Structure formats: C-alpha cells, structure tokens
C-alpha cells in the first residue's frame, strides 16, 4: 500500500470508529494525557485541517460543523485531495512549528498521528487496540525517525517520551510505546 493509501485507510479507520460513538462516550478518558474522547476528536479535526492547509500553503479553516464526525469527514476529504495534488509528495510545504518539510513527510506524519489516535479511541472505548500489522509496521518505521527534541517529545510536545516496550512485543505495542503510550492503558 502506498503512503497516500495508508493515510486514507487510517482516516477511514477513524471515521468507522466515530460512526459508532454515542453521546456518553464523549467524556471518556483517552490515553492522550488529559484528553477526553471529545477533545481527541477535536484535535483530529483541527490537526487534519492544519495538515491540509500546510499542503496548500494556506491558513487552516474552521471545522465544517460543530458535529466533530461531520467536521472530521470534511477535513479528511480535504486533506486527501490536498495530499493527492500533482507533485505534492515531492515539494516542500511549511508546517507550523516544524518548518519546511517534503510533502511525503507531512503525509507520513498525518498517517502516524491518525493511526495512533485510532488506537487511542479504541482503548478509550474499551476495545482491543490491535492495529493492522502492515499499517502499524509502516507507522513504526516512520516514527522511529522522529527526533527526541523538546518540540517533538515531552511535556507540551506532540508526543510523550517513549515508553519501554519489549523488542519482541507485538508491533502495535511497539508503535504506541514509541509514541509515549503504555500498551496496557485502560480507562
């Protein structure tokens, strides 16, 4: 599966999870420190809008709806279109806070973010968090390249510091551990 397809599959995985959410799920805790399910959903909408804007060299717009499911679907479609524009994967794009990056690096970061947030949401809902092994392996390879600088890892950064996970653990556990989540997290 190519990078654009991986990204869209991660978006669709989240959309499927969101479709089953009920009002009472929105206040549940998530593995993202201090975030409820609602706050995780809002983050995904805002983040996806920011990635789409970075791809197009514009400022992020407002969510398409107050209903985060509707807003995420619209943002996901917008990002997919922006990422699939001719030549985007090879040209530089300015991503706020991180400077210029190749388009494929932005798509890769968006893919990792959305795949791991699918794990967060599954765990918040009390579901098995096991991710597709091929997708998790691809995301793990990409995340291994993330620096351990304060703007990327640590308090207030995009990711917490890595959590120790055995080298022979399932790939989902190694991925989420690398991005600062305990594979054994439960609400």
Per-10-residue mean pLDDT for the chain, 187 residues long? 96 95 96 93 96 94 92 97 97 83 94 97 97 98 89 83 96 97 93
Residue 126 to residues 24, 25, 87, 135: CA-CA distances in angstroms? 13, 11, 41, 21
Residue appearing with tokens 């524009």? 85
Residue 121 has what pLDDT?
A: 97
Query: Three-class SS of residue 94?
Result: strand
**Euclidean distance between CA atoms 24 and 128, whole angstroms:** 19
Residue 168 to residues 94, 171, 187: CA-CA distances in angstroms? 37, 8, 25
Residue 115 has what pLDDT?
A: 98
Residue 132 has what pLDDT?
A: 98
Residue 173 has what pLDDT?
A: 98
Residue 105 has what pLDDT?
A: 93
Residue 21 to residues 1, 16, 29, 72: CA-CA distances in angstroms? 28, 9, 14, 13
Q: Is the pTM of this model over 0.75?
A: yes
Residue 1 has what pLDDT?
A: 80
Q: What is the CATH number of domain 3-178?
A: 1.20.120.450
Residue 159 has what pLDDT?
A: 85
Structure tokens at 18: 């969101």
Residue 183 has what pLDDT?
A: 97
């Amino acid at each position: 599966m190519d990078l654009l397809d991986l990204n869209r599959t991660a978006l669709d995985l989240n959309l499927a999870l969101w479709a089953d959410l009920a009002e009472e799920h929105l206040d549940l805790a998530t593995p993202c420190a201090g975030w409820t399910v609602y706050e995780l959903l809002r983050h995904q909408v805002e983040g996806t809008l920011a990635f789409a804007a970075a791809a197009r060299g514009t400022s992020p717009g407002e969510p398409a709806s107050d209903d985060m499911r509707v807003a995420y679907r619209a943002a996901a479609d917008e990002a997919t279109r922006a990422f699939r524009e001719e030549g985007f994967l090879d040209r530089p794009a300015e991503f706020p806070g991180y400077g210029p990056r190749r388009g494929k690096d932005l798509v890769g970061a968006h893919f990792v973010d959305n795949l791991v947030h699918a794990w967060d949401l599954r765990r918040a809902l009390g579901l098995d968090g096991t991710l597709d092994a091929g997708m998790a392996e691809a995301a793990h390879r990409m995340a291994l390249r993330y620096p351990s600088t304060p703007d990327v890892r640590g308090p207030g950064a995009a990711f917490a510091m890595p959590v120790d996970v055995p080298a022979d653990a399932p790939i989902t556990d190694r991925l989420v551990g690398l991005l600062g989540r305990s594979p054994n997290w439960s609400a």
